[in-house]
């Protein structure tokens, strides 16, 4: 625990059992923050929290659906119970469901809206209420995507939610700034995670070829950007979206999706 940039800070991070969310949780803990680590998968949440504790961090697992209002309220209560306050909220939980627009099922649309938009909105709301009570300010971070900026085939519903999150961050500046609470978003591009590699073993090759920097992001790339926006170093930045994509949105070549079965692919 060398650099205590987040000493006396307490963070809720959703969808953090692995991938980007876990890396953000791990880095925050290594810099002194207490963590409430959420994941829908109870085993993943427990293992992730244990890994952070084994490295000397303070981390409590809290499993559950991050789009469930009761789970969200429970996480806020747990942060107060375990650490006495809440100063950071990262709405990282999300689901990606590819699908042909003409055939996109209502069930898929509802799930994407519930997790990506409603869950993020309610976490921001619950966290901001607690931060307002504490009168010490705070940081809220929403997880967007490059497809909130550029079109991507078969991701209309997902892209709509990510663009919506960026507008939410911009709009809430009006209501949160008087309480010293900043709200921003990070928009990752193609990122190597357990999920993306499991779904497509050719993912690194495909995205290395079409990303100007010559490789997709790794989780550390996204977490580094997140930590900046959550830290005291970004105190005058709010309502913004930081794109971390190796330059992809500047040129936006699409991957070859000719072999993708959009009716069966679930990348949530």
What CATH code is carried by the domain that includes residue 167? 3.40.50.720
Residues with a known catalytic role: 158, 162
Q: Where are the alpha helices (DSSP H) in 84-137?
A: 106-112, 119-134
Domain count, the chain: 1
Residue pair 217/123 in contact by the 8 Å Cβ criterion: no
**From the first residue on, what is the mean pLDDT of each consecutive set of 10 residues in the chain (268 residues)?**
82 98 98 98 98 98 98 98 98 95 97 98 98 98 96 95 98 98 97 90 93 96 98 97 96 74 42
In a domain, 1, yes or no: no
In a domain, 258, yes or no: no
Residue 19's closest CA among 192, 245, 217? 192
pLDDT for res 261: 60
Residue 77's closest CA among 6, 21, 126, 15? 126
3-state secondary structure of 63: strand
In a domain, 206, yes or no: no
In a domain, 5, yes or no: no
Distance CA 259, CA 148 (A): 24
Domain span holding position 226? 10-190+219-249
pLDDT for res 242: 98
In a domain, 207, yes or no: no
């Amino acid at each position: 625990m060398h650099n205590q940039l987040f000493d006396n800070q307490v963070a809720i991070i959703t969808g953090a059992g692995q991938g980007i969310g876990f890396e953000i949780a791990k880095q925050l803990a290594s810099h002194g923050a207490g963590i409430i680590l959420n994941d829908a998968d109870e085993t993943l949440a427990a293992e992730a929290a244990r890994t952070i504790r084994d490295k000397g961090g303070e981390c409590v697992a809290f499993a559950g659906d991050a789009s469930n209002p009761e789970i969200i309220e429970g996480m806020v209560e747990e942060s107060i119970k375990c650490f006495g306050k809440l100063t950071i909220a990262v709405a990282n939980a999300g689901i990606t469901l590819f699908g042909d627009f003409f055939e996109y099922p209502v069930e898929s649309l509802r799930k994407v809206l519930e997790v990506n938009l409603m869950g993020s909105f309610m976490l921001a709301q619950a966290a901001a209420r607690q931060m307002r009570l504490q009168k010490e300010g705070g940081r809220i971070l929403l997880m967007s995507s490059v497809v909130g900026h550029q079109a991507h085939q078969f991701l209309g519903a997902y892209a709509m939610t990510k663009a919506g999150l960026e507008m939410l961050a911009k709009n809430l500046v009006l209501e949160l700034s008087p309480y010293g609470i900043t709200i921003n978003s990070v928009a990752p591009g193609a990122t190597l995670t357990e999920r993306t590699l499991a779904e497509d073993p050719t993912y690194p090759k495909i995205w290395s070829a079409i990303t100007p920097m010559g490789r997709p992001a790794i989780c550390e790339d996204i977490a580094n950007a997140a930590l900046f926006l959550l830290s005291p170093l970004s105190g005058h930045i709010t309502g913004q979206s930081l794109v971390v994509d190796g330059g992809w949105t500047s040129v936006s070549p699409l991957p070859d999706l000719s072999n993708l079965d959009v009716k069966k692919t679930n990348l949530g």
